[in-house]
Every structure is written in C-alpha cells, then in structure tokens.
Structure 1
C-alpha cells in the first residue's frame, strides 16, 4: 500500500481553509470547468432523449405499438433519472445545470426525432442510444482517475444506455416489417 502524500494535519488545514469548495479538494485531478461543461452537454443529451422517447410514446400507432410504446415510456423515465443524476453532480461540483430550452438540441449529443412510423421511431432511438454509448464511453475514459465519482456516474449511465440499445435492437428484431399496421 502506498504512503499518504500529505500528512493529515495538512489535509485538515486545507479542508478548513477551502471550505467554500464543498467536495472539490486538492485531490481533485480533473479540469473542473471542462467537467462541468461536459456534464451539461450530457444533461442536454438526456433531456433531449427524454423528450424524444415521450413523443414516441404518445404518438406510436399500429398493431405492435402498445408494447413498443410501453418500452418508450420506461426509457423516457430512465433518461429523466439520468438527467437528474447529472444535474445533481453539476451542482455538487459548484456548477449550474443548464436547462435552457433554447440551446438544448445544440448542446445534446443525440438528436430529437419526430418520426411517425413505428419502425423509424425504434431506429432513431437506437441511433440515439448508440451515440450516447460512444460519447459516455469516451467521457469516462477521458475523466479517468481525475474525478472517480463523475466517471462512475458516466459508467452507470453507460450501462443503462447499453441496455436501452439492446432493447431497441430487440424490438426491431421482433416486429415483422411486412405486416400492415406497423
């Protein structure tokens, strides 16, 4: 086991001297401002994904729409939980979560979609999940050991986005494309 680099008295003194920084200590090894910016981009992504899934939930029609719409609603709720986790972390790091609707789609990694066709809805949701997976993988790797808490949040989100992508792929595989009412 490695030795402590700093004696406990120095750690205590710094903790008292920099109390206004909350959980961000000298041990924080990431670029704080950039991490907050990246968290806000991910927040925008999750909000856009929530809105896309909600729209698809309400507008899905056709023979197979009921179970697909139920999946869309579940994913919308989980994306909203992701947004809440990201906003909480931004505040914890001393930043401000950006919920500005005027800039959401420009800041988001994934795109909003208003497809009317059930198969197209599923495909667009799968594309968005794949975008989030790629982005969150890169973010987790970029953060590395500099901010383990934020990295773990992205790893948790990544695992759920992978489940969402698998769900969408499964829906595409189960719905026959040559049936009326699809």
Structure 2
C-alpha cells in the first residue's frame, strides 16, 4: 500500500522528498517574486514586460503544483509553510528597484534554478525516472524563461 513506491524504486525516498521540498520552495519564491514584479512594473515598457512576468508566475505555479503532487505520490508531505520558505528556496526573493532590475533579478533566479535542477536530475539518474522526467520538463521551462528575460533585456537595449 505504498502508492508509487514499489520494490523496484531505487532512490532514497526521504532524500528525494527533501530535495523536492527545496525545489517546491524555490518555485513558490519565484511565483511571489514574479507576481510582485507583475504588479509593480512601471514605465514606458512596463506593459509587455509585466505580461511576461505574469506568464512566468503562472508557469512557476504549475511547476510548484507538479512538484507537490510528486511529493505526495512518493508518500511525503509538501512543505507549503511560509516559515523558513526563504531558507528552503535555492533562489532569493529580491524585489528590484526598476524594471531593468526586476528583469535582472528574475534572470539570476532562473539561472540558479537551472543549475539546481540540473544537479537534481543528475542525482536522480535512473533511480527515480518519473521524478527525473518531471524535473527535466521543469528545467526546460526554466531555460526558456531565462531566454525570455535575456530577450527582454536586449529589447530594452541592456547588456546581459
């Protein structure tokens, strides 16, 4: 009666749940940062950039939901507690003072997530292919977000 955990599951379930809870915290922090940036973006170029922030926030929320669902499938409990959220997250919550600062902070966070998720994928290897595939899909979206943000900076005439 262990749900998705069969005798063939080779990963350390407790370690995977802990890693996924850190990824969950990262996604939640990213949702919050992108939402703040969406609501506070201002200036002549703000409308298009804010729309991108909102799209990224919604996609990060989808990632958080996927991760939480996988944690439950593994017999764990997703940690949504706001207490300690920032310390569990791989990315920081930085507000940014201007539209350019916001884009740059989001790019930094995406790059941190990309590196973290790549490490998670390597750690999982063939021991938990379902979680690995989920994280590979999330990683691909994080890479797309980073490309989008670089494009925004370029469109605004900012060096990356």
TM-score w.r.t. length of structure 1:
0.86
* Structure 2 residue aligned with 1:109: 90
Deviation at 1:116, TM superposition (A): 2.4
Residue pairs, 1:163-182, within 5 angstroms: 163-176=144-157
**Which whole-Å deviations, capped at 9, do the CAs of 1:58-106 have from their partners, x for residues lacking one?**
0000111110000000000000000000000000000000001011110
Aligned residue in 1 for 2:43: 62
The answer to whether the Cα contact below 8 Å between 1:60 and 1:116 also exists between their aligned partners in 2 is no
Measure the CA separation in 1 of the matches of 2:60 and 2:139: 11
Partner of 2:4: 23
Query: What stretches of structure 1 move > 3 A for 4+ residues in a row?
Result: none
How many angstroms apart in 1 are the aligned matches of 2:13 and 2:154? 43
Does 2:68 align with 1:79? no
Q: Please tell me whether residue 152 in structure 1 is matched to residue 104 in structure 2.
A: no
The root-mean-square deviation of aligned C-alpha atoms, in Å, is: 0.7
- Measured in 1, the distance between the counterparts of 2:116 and 2:127 equals 18
Is the partner of 2:126 in helix, strand or coil?
helix
Per the TM alignment, residue 176 of structure 1 is displaced from its structure 2 partner at its CA by 3.1
Counting matched residue pairs gives 158
Q: TM-score, normalised by structure 2?
A: 0.97
Larger radius of gyration: 1
Map Cα deviations across residues 129-157 of structure 1 (whole Å, 9 max, x no partner). Answer: 00000000010011000000000010000
Unaligned runs of 5+ in 1: 1-19, 178-182
> What is the rounded CA distance, in whole Å, between the counterparts of 1:128 and 1:106 in structure 2?
14
Query: Which residues of 2 match residues 127-146 of structure 1 at below 5 A?
Result: 127-146=108-127
Q: Specify every segment of 5 or more residues in structure 2 that has no aligned partner in the other structure, as ranges.
A: none
